[in-house]
Amino acid sequence: MVGTTGFNVTAVYTGGTECQGFTESLTFGATCSAASGTFVNNDGGSGMDSWTGANPTITLSRQNLTTVQANGTPSGGTFSYPTTPISGGNFATVDNPLPMSNPNTISLQGSAGNGAPTPGGFEMITAQYDVNNSTASDPFQVPTFGMSCYIIALESDYGTPPNNCTATRIYGTQSSGTVLNPGGLAGTYCASFIANLRLQGSAQLNNGQSVQYQVSTGNIVAVSTINGADGTPVVAGQTVARDRAIIPGRGVLVDVDQVGTGLLANDTGGRIRGYRLDLFNGAGRAACASFANPISVAACQPAQSACPGSALQ
């Protein structure tokens, strides 16, 4: 190049997707002792970031209720999943043992039941893929619900009035002995039975008659079918009571990890608030005796404002 009074050099990368392709244009001065130029990426970016970056992308797919797969390009990056609370608490955790595997599969975990029912929560999980000093991200929302179990109270579970009634304690209040004509229900009944009838919302008398408690009036009335608050029958193992602030719609189906799929949210409950669901499990205390009250990952169909569906996008 001796004697050259100035020239340009253009280098074009024609390799794989690792560099996305780039053009390096250098302009030399008259003495050829210095050059200036810009790296131009084939996606329109320029400067040093276009050289070291790779404009990564991330694509998410849900394999099932608790499994999400992330695909990142170009290869060679790492995955992470920061979380942001939206409402409530007891959020899902992300089990991600192999952050460099691509595709990357994570497991969304609730928590095992360990006593009294506890509300779940609503959070944003952001899937991030970092490669060559650049990041791609895709957020998705995950609710968890704290589960409990409710029943049709059986009169036979609480003894025989007037002298053989068992006592019960509900939220710190003990009921014992008998009551006469409670809520307009003619007859003498064990006070513990009536307390549980009001708690559960419905009961079956010893003569086989079904009754329901009307919260608005305080009356106990005979019914031919026990319905949820939405006016449709409750079904053991399929009906859940919910907070209408979280699941306002009617006919909404809820999938709940560890509990069931296609559960119909057609009931409500006085203590079912926030991210809580109460599963109807049948008649008698034995129906809920072994229920563990888990906090579980869930999804609604159709999606509700505070309970998204299973689709991540």
pLDDT at 133: 87
pLDDT at 23: 65
Q: Is residue 246 part of a domain?
A: no
Asked whether residue 137 falls in the same domain as residue 63, the answer is yes
pLDDT tens per residue, range 114-123: 688 999 999 9
Asked whether residue 91 falls in the same domain as residue 15, the answer is no
For residue 251, report the phi and psi dihedrals to the nearest 5 degrees: 75, 20
pLDDT tens per residue, range 131-158: 988 999 999 999 999 999 999 999 999 9
What pTM does this model have? 0.81
Asked whether residue 64 falls in the same domain as residue 48, the answer is no
| Per-residue pLDDT in tens (0 to 9) along the chain, 313 residues | 555 677 776 766 665 554 555 566 767 676 666 656 665 655 445 544 444 445 899 999 999 999 999 999 999 999 999 999 999 999 999 998 899 999 999 999 998 776 889 999 999 999 999 998 899 999 999 999 999 999 999 999 999 999 999 999 999 999 999 999 999 999 999 999 999 999 999 999 999 999 999 999 999 999 999 999 999 999 999 999 999 999 999 999 999 999 999 999 999 998 999 999 999 999 999 999 999 999 999 999 999 999 999 887 5
Q: Is residue 113 part of a domain?
A: yes
Q: Is residue 44 part of a domain?
A: yes
Asked whether residue 26 falls in the same domain as residue 62, the answer is no
The string of DSSP codes covering the chain is -TT---EEEEEE--S-TTS--EEEEEEE-TTSS-EEEEEEETTS-BSHHHHH----EEEEEEEETTEEEEEEESSS-EEE--EEEEEES---EEE-S-TT-SSEEEEEE-B---SS----EEEEEEEEEEETTEEEEEEEEEEEEEEEEEEEEEGGGGEETTTEEPPEEETTEEE-SEEESGGG--SEEEHHHHHHHHHHSEEE-TTS-EEEE-TTT--EEEESS-B-TTSSB--TTTEEE--TTT--SSS-EEEETTTEEEEEEEE--TT--SSEEEEEEEESGGGGTT----EEEEEEES-BTTB--S---
pLDDT at 200: 95
Q: Which domain holds residue 26?
A: 7-52
Asked whether residue 74 falls in the same domain as residue 47, the answer is no
Asked whether residue 17 falls in the same domain as residue 91, the answer is no
pLDDT at 13: 62
pLDDT at 136: 96
